[in-house]
């Protein structure tokens, strides 16, 4: 008898999957940063903006294109071969319909988001929706079987092949279309690899009872995904529709750079923290204690890094991307500061979900969205693209953070304990931000200012880590235990 389903075997496979998933995330983020730097040197801000219009449109449709039914493959308790043919039929049919609809509506969508020149780029990117529907089941099967090594190889092939094609076409003068074609080529090759490695044969079929259950399961997930998309991309939609493609290009570049610390610092801890919290959920005091310990350590590393980028935004943008991208620095000042709150909130989200308070999280997300939209519109009207980032930052500090603190207090985490965990790293980060701003004004060329700001951030992080060395040792031990 096979022992593949034994607890020890499952734990071993899950551990290997976790390692490959983390490696895939890290390489992808570093690769995206490097690719973005190279392409930004070749393309104009308006090209990035046009591509951003197409990307936002594509992501909006991808948030619900297969109605969420592919996730049922991962969670199905029995042999997924029974439902796979029906999942394929639903995924491909809905994706094909949405692809055609997007191709037809591309001129109106592009005009509404700020630049009608994005029309052919949107139409090319629409084909990625069909590809996504075609590979939904193979991708879910790989996830179900913990085949993250194969998924990582496919994802990295997608990213690097697409980037290479985009760079060649950009050098040939194809502008924003080079990015769309590169993305499409990478997606096609990656799809072929996912099909090749899928543990189950790819077949179409239809079972009415299965279809009814799949739609009932997936529809709420699709709706939730739309809400998440609206919350995550409302700023880009507002900037593009109000200010046009060039302003959106500056905004997207600043957003991508500000998101880098969020991914690097949050992802490893988020891979371990929920499991660690879950093991302690019957010991409320220990759970609170460990939540605060992880929060302190996360703040020690993330807060200085993010606020250093905020303070040194001008030399960082100039050094990495060139002087033509300098307007993005004014946006990065606020988005990098906002990244601190995003990192805190992701940890709080995991903690509250383990406690079964996902409803409270959904309410806070809705409040955040409803408050942020008018704030961003007002900010854009007053100071342009930086106003969208500033509006979000104000809402986070004045509205969202107090809401999370109220819910945490009801969950046993006192507000004073939360503040005590983050106050020293935050004060150190604010002082570092001011120091990096002074460096950016007094040191030249930009490369020296950026290096000096980075070195200053490293010194502050090392000093704070030495101050909390007991937390560092405990979390390292926990991460090793989680991997095993």
Both tokens assigned to 5: 């389903």
Asked if 166 and 39 touch (Cβ cutoff 8 Å), the reply is yes
Q: What is the pLDDT of residue 221?
A: 64
Of residues 210 and 385, more confidence is placed in 385
Q: What is the pLDDT of residue 57?
A: 84
Average pLDDT, the chain: 82
pLDDT in tens, 94-134: 889 999 999 999 999 898 888 888 899 999 989 988 998 88
> Looking at residues 409-433, what average pLDDT do you find?
93
Q: What is the pLDDT of residue 189?
A: 93
- CA 147 – CA 155 distance, rounded (Å): 13
Asked if 172 and 156 touch (Cβ cutoff 8 Å), the reply is no
Which residues does 444 contact at the CB level (< 8 Å), separation at least 6? Answer: none
Q: Where are the beta strands (DSSP E) in 418-484?
A: none
Report whether pLDDT(42) > 50.
yes
- CA 422 – CA 340 distance, rounded (Å): 11
Which residues does 137 contact at the CB level (< 8 Å), separation at least 6? Answer: 70, 73, 84, 87, 88, 91, 198, 200, 202
Cis status, amide bond into 445, omega within 30 of 0: yes
Q: What is the pLDDT of residue 72?
A: 67
Dihedral angle sign, alpha carbons of residues 366, 394, 247, 453: negative
Q: Indicate the burial class of 91 (C-beta count within 10 angstroms; 0-12, 13-18, 19 or more).
A: buried
Of residues 185 and 16, more confidence is placed in 185
Write the DSSP string, 62-110: HTTTTTTTTHHHHH-SS-GGGTHHHHHHHHHHHHHHHHHHHHHHHHHHH
pLDDT in tens, 368-389: 999 999 999 999 999 999 999 9
Dihedral angle sign, alpha carbons of residues 420, 335, 320, 437: negative
Asked if 240 and 51 touch (Cβ cutoff 8 Å), the reply is no
- CA 369 – CA 82 distance, rounded (Å): 40
């Amino acid at each position: 008898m096979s022992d593949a389903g034994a607890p020890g075997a499952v734990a071993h496979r899950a551990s290997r999957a976790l390692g490959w998933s983390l490696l895939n995330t890290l390489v992808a983020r570093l690769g995206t940063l490097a690719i973005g730097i190279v392409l930004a040197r070749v393309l104009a801000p308006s090209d990035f903006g046009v591509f951003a219009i197409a990307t936002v449109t594509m992501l909006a449709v991808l948030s619900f294109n297969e109605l969420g039914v592919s996730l049922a493959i991962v969670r199905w308790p029995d042999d997924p071969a029974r439902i796979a043919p029906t999942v394929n039929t639903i995924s491909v049919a809905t994706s094909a319909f949405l692809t055609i609809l997007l191709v037809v509506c591309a001129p109106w969508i592009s005009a509404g988001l700020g630049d009608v020149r994005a029309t052919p780029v949107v139409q090319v990117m629409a084909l990625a929706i069909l590809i996504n529907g075609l590979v939904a089941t193979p991708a879910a099967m790989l996830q179900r079987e913990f085949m993250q090594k194969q998924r990582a190889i496919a994802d990295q092939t997608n990213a690097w092949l697409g980037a290479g094609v985009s760079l060649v076409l950009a050098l040939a003068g194809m502008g924003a279309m080079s990015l769309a074609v590169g993305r499409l080529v990478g997606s096609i090759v990656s799809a072929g690899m996912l099909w090749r490695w899928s543990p189950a044969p790819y077949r179409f079929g239809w079972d009415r009872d299965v279809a009814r259950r799949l739609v009932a399961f997936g529809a709420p997930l699709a709706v939730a995904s739309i809400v998440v998309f609206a919350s995550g991309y409302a700023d880009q939609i507002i900037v593009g529709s109000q200010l046009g493609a060039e302003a959106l290009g500056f905004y997207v570049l600043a957003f991508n750079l500000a998101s880098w610390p969020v991914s690097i610092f949050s992802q490893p801890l988020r891979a371990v923290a929920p499991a660690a919290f879950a093991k302690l959920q019957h010991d409320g005091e220990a759970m609170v204690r460990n939540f605060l310990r992880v929060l302190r350590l996360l703040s020690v590393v993330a807060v200085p890094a993010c606020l250093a980028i905020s303070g040194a935004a001008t030399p960082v943008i100039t050094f990495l991307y060139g002087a033509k991208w300098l307007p993005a620095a004014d946006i990065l000042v606020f988005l990098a500061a906002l990244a601190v709150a995003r990192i805190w909130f992701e940890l709080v989200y995991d903690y509250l979900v383990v406690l079964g308070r996902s409803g409270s999280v959904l309410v806070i997300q809705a409040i955040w969205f409803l408050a942020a939209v008018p704030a961003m519109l007002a900010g854009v009207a007053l100071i342009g693209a930086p106003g969208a980032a500033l509006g979000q930052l104000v809402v986070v500090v004045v509205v969202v953070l107090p809401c999370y603190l109220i819910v945490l207090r009801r969950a046993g985490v006192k507000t004073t304990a939360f503040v005590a965990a983050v106050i020293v790293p935050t004060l150190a980060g604010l002082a570092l931000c001011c120091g990096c701003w002074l460096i950016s004004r007094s040191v030249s060329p930009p490369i020296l200012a950026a290096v000096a700001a980075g070195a200053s951030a490293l010194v502050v992080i090392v000093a704070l880590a030495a101050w909390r060395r007991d937390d560092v040792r405990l979390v390292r031990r926990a991460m090793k235990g989680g991997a095993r």
